[in-house]
Structure 1
Amino acid sequence: MELAFLNPLYEHPGSWASAYVDTSLHTEDQQQRRHLNAEAVARELARQGADEPTCRAVHDALDALQRSPEPYGRAVFARDGEVVLEVPLTRGPQDAEAYWGPLPRVTPLLDLAGEDPLSLVAYIDRTGARIELRSALLHEEAGQVTGRQWPMHRSKASDWSERHFQLKVEDTWEHNAREVAEALASCQEETGADLLILCGDDRERRSVHEQLPKALQDRVMETSRGKDSNLLPQEVEEIRAEHVRQRVLAEVERFRAARTPDEEQRAAAVDGLPRLIEAAREHRLAELLIRPDAPDTRREVWIGEDPDQLAARREELKAIGERQAWQARADDALVRAAAVTGAPVMSLTPVLEDTGDELAGGLGALLRWK
């Protein structure tokens, strides 16, 4: 997950209010339910020590969602009586959550608004394709490809003229597959889509798949749905979830391989909180991997005003010249360090059943060399 959008949260030091609410239930009493949630979150923030203007700002932002059609939920981050950032969620939290502390509580975003591949869905047949753009929060038409319409159907005859006609039919199919592939490649370049879902009969899917540029081959997944049969939201979600799972597994494999020292006895990946703190201070985080709710994520570390000022003990911050110090969760401190240096952060939640005790402490990183 790229976290550049979080940078406004790290421009000013100080205490932060963070809130997560679910908006997935659309019932007759939803307005009352959401109003009560806003009240409950504000009370919880006040109980944790948040100032009244900030509690009020969060309350008003959440209360404004009473009539919102958002399908999942919203995260709200505020300080000094002002909401600084609101993030639509792609998965609702089980219960409303509220946090008050020296850093915004952003780690839940990895699972609640994290890997959400923007997908191009192509419904293909021999005449062309209909293309949709899909994500957890988006469903819109993205184009239509109409190829050659004749000749389209084979003949069962076996004389020379009929075989010649059949070759023309084959040529029409291949021409149309090439046009669909070109349209998909152009649409992917324009939208930045992470995933291409090809729907249709085996031959049509395969023909289009083979015509796509090599750079897009690993973004493709297929299903037998035809051109005139829409994928149901659940089916799209299952395909997108499998795509995310495969991506996370690939990053775990990269991490495993990178932990092996090279000829100079240098490893390109580390785990364990002390080594991660050192890498963050040296701006060497290339990608941060997190198992939410694992033991090390909840450990408290000491942070200063700047993202690279963090340590296991307060004395270490004093040794590097930092006068101000606060205690914060290790995961949020490391996410801050990763976000401001442009390092992506990935949750291992989609692959917990496949990776066993990988990152038992919950934190690891691929490193960049200076």
Structure 2
Amino acid sequence: METAVDPARGLPAPISRFVLVRQGTVELNELLPGPLVTPKQVAVSPVPNLLPLIKHRPEEFPYVVAEATREDAEIRLEYVGRPGPAAVEGVRGSTEDISKLSAGVDWAQSKQQRRTEEIWRRNAEEVAGQIDRIVDSSGARLIVLAGDIRARGLVQNQLAEAHKPLVTMIDSEPRPEDSHQQLFQDKVQERIALQWAAEQEQIMDRLALQEGQANPESAVGVGAVVHALQQAQVDVLILNDKALSDRQLLVLASEPWVATAEEQALGAESLGRVPAPTALLRAAALTDASLLLVPDGVLPGGVEIAALLRWPTGPAAPGGDAT
């Protein structure tokens, strides 16, 4: 542990850290920009408590920031809650005849004007192609275009149709001065927050639509959600961790990973009881479920946990396919 927490030199303060050590091996050592989101914690447990990490970085949110001119661009792949870009790529286009002639030139020079426009378009096409490749490989959920107003418009036009809805424009150009850089980063974070809020609203809308359905694709309450997690049925776990902090669940060494009582362990070895949020987050991770943490009052009916499911609950509807 002493080795793992060496000072994070070269990174701006404040910065936090999440370290997980298992049997003498450092399994996870994450540097997290910003001050601690939760109080400092040191704990020994049969399974890792990932809640402090998730509170600081709720989910993997990759996004692309591209600063474009009419001849080149810098494209950065970044992740929310991680210091610095994960990747930086430069695109250098053609600079031949990159500038248009001034207004009022002889009509014979219109050919050169058209050539300049074509060079701009080709350069933008190259930038857009690189952005498309990064988005496809990373699963980026937002594309921030900045820089020259004409260049970023051309880049947006050349993006794949599936990626165009991810685009947001920022008018200010990220300049070297610290004040301008901070202003630019604040605008990027604002767009991320808006995107995040829209996605969370869609999740809650999906949950509301399931209410009253005969065979809902949702589960509400600890018992129903644990049952769904045991079957790897949960697509999105929606959790008020504060409301569940005093409750404990069994964690299991193998599938079905979590249980409310020994008789639900289905023969799996019990590792002991831990706080319910720890057990639920572990089961969600092991069954590839997404997570949404919510505060008091968000879930309907005063419940503390719900889930959107990969397939409906309950018996087949009358007349439906029994298979």
**Coarse TM-score class (shorter-chain normalised):** 0.7 to 0.9
Relative contact order, higher structure (CA 8 A, sep 6+) = 1
Decide which of 76, 80, 84 is 2:19's aligned counterpart. 76
Q: Which amino acid aligns with 2:298?
A: D
| Inter-partner Cα distance in structure 1 for 2:155 and 2:204 | 34
For 2:250, the equivalent position in structure 1 comes to 302
Shift of 1:240: 4.0
Structure 1 range deviating more: 72-81 or 255-264: 255-264
Structure number with the higher helix fraction is 1
Give matches, 1:121-140, under 5 Å.
121-135=65-79, 136-139=82-85
Q: Secondary structure at the match of 1:218?
A: helix
For 1:357, the equivalent position in structure 2 comes to 298
| Inter-partner Cα distance in structure 2 for 1:77 and 1:344 | 21
Alpha-carbon displacement from aligned partner over 1:96-128 (angstroms, at most 9, x marks no partner): 212233432112211223435444332222223
Pair 149,347 (structure 1): closer, same or farther in 2 beyond 3 Å:
farther
Tell me, which stretches of 5 or more residues in structure 2 are unaligned? 313-323
Contact 1:152 1:172 in 2 (8 A): no
Pair 170,83 (structure 1): closer, same or farther in 2 beyond 3 Å:
closer
Two-structure CA RMSD over aligned residues (Å): 3.5
Identity within the alignment, %: 22
In the superposition, the TM-score normalised over structure 2's length comes to 0.76
The count of residues paired between Structure 1 and Structure 2 equals 303
Contact 1:117 1:240 in 2 (8 A): no
Tell me if 1:282 matches 2:231.
yes
Tell me if 1:87 matches 2:30.
yes
For 2:153, the equivalent position in structure 1 comes to 206
Contact 2:229 2:283 in 1 (8 A): yes
Tell me if 1:170 matches 2:114.
no
Give matches, 1:1-370, under 5 Å.
58=1, 60-61=2-3, 64-66=5-7, 68-69=9-10, 71=12, 72-80=15-23, 82-93=25-36, 95-115=39-59, 117-135=61-79, 136-139=82-85, 141-150=88-97, 152-157=99-104, 160-161=107-108, 163-189=110-136, 193-226=140-173, 232=181, 235-236=184-185, 238-240=187-189, 242-243=191-192, 245-261=194-210, 265-293=214-242, 295-306=243-254, 308-312=256-260, 314=261, 316-317=263-264, 320-321=266-267, 324=270, 326-348=272-294, 357-358=298-299, 361-369=303-311
| Inter-partner Cα distance in structure 2 for 1:299 and 1:158 | 78
Q: Which amino acid aligns with 2:275?
A: R
Pair 114,290 (structure 1): closer, same or farther in 2 beyond 3 Å:
same
| Inter-partner Cα distance in structure 1 for 2:167 and 2:252 | 44
Contact 2:73 2:91 in 1 (8 A): yes
Alpha-carbon displacement from aligned partner over 1:49-85 (angstroms, at most 9, x marks no partner): xxxxxxxxx4x245x4246445522212234555443
Alpha-carbon displacement from aligned partner over 1:137-171 (angstroms, at most 9, x marks no partner): 22464113223431522432276435555444433
Pair 322,205 (structure 1): closer, same or farther in 2 beyond 3 Å:
closer
Contact 1:298 1:331 in 2 (8 A): no
Alpha-carbon displacement from aligned partner over 1:328-359 (angstroms, at most 9, x marks no partner): 222211111111122232334xxx6xx96236
Alpha-carbon displacement from aligned partner over 1:240-292 (angstroms, at most 9, x marks no partner): 45325424532442343245349971111223212111111222111223344
In the superposition, the TM-score normalised over structure 1's length comes to 0.68
Shift of 1:191: 5.6
Q: Secondary structure at the match of 2:162?
A: helix
Tell me, which stretches of 5 or more residues in structure 1 are unaligned? 1-57
Q: Which amino acid aligns with 2:274?
A: A
Q: Secondary structure at the match of 2:282?
A: helix
Alpha-carbon displacement from aligned partner over 1:194-234 (angstroms, at most 9, x marks no partner): 44321124332222111101222233222123486687256
